[in-house]
Chain A
Amino acid sequence: MRATPSAFVRCALLGFVVVIVQVSGLGTGRVLGGYLDLTPLVVAAVAIYGGSIAGAAMGFGVGLLLDLLVGGTMGASSLVLTAVGYGVGRYREIRDPAHELMPIPVGAAATFAWVVSFAVVSFMLEIEASVSVAVVREMIATTLLGAIFALPIFWICRRVLRPVLLVDPLDLRRRRRGPREAGPIGLRGLEI
Chain B
Amino acid sequence: MYDSKVIRRRRAALAVFVALSIVMLTAYFGESSGGVFHTLQRGAQAAFAPFESGASRALKPARDLFGWFGDTFDAKGENEELRAEVESLRKELADADVARADARELRELVGLTDDEGFPQDTEPVTARIIGRSPTVWYSSINIDKGSSDGIRESMPVIASGGLIGKVTSVTGGTAQVRLITDSSSNVSAQVMPAGASGIVKPIVGKPDDLLLDHIAADRRVTEGARVATSGFATSRFESLFQRGIPIGRVTKVDAEELDEFQRVHIEPYADIREVDVVQILTERGVSTQAGVPFQ
Where the two chains meet, the residues of A that have a C-beta atom closer than 8 Å to any C-beta of B are: 20-32, 35-37, 39, 52-53, 56-57, 59-60, 63-76, 78-79, 82-83, 86, 93, 115, 118-119, 122, 125-135, 138
Where the two chains meet, the residues of B that have a C-beta atom closer than 8 Å to any C-beta of A are: 2, 9-10, 13-14, 17-18, 20-29, 37, 40-41, 44-45, 48, 51-53, 55-56, 58-60, 62-63, 66-67, 69-70, 73, 130-138, 140, 142, 168-169, 176, 178, 183-185, 201-206, 209, 211, 273-274
A132 and B140 form a contact (CB under 8 A): no
Which residues in B have their C-beta under 8 angstroms from that of A23?
52, 131-134, 142
A36 to B65, CA, bound (A): 13
| 9 A–B contacts from the bound complex (CB under 8 Å) | A21-B59, A31-B69, A68-B48, A71-B138, A72-B140, A74-B37, A79-B21, A129-B183, A130-B203
Q: A28-B67, A60-B21 are in contact. List 7 more A-B contacts (CB 8 A).
A: A53-B10, A57-B13, A71-B133, A71-B140, A74-B25, A78-B24, A83-B18
Nearest chain A CB to B151's CB is how many angstroms away? Answer: 15
Contact of A134 among B28, B130, B206 (CB under 8 A): B206
A71 and B25 form a contact (CB under 8 A): no
Number of A-B contacts (CB under 8 A): 197
A110 to B59, CA, bound (A): 25
A66 to B135, CA, bound (A): 11
A72 to B131, CA, bound (A): 13
Most B CB within 10 A of own CB, among A22, A30, A59? A30
Nearest chain B CB to A90's CB is how many angstroms away? Answer: 8
B25 and A35 form a contact (CB under 8 A): no
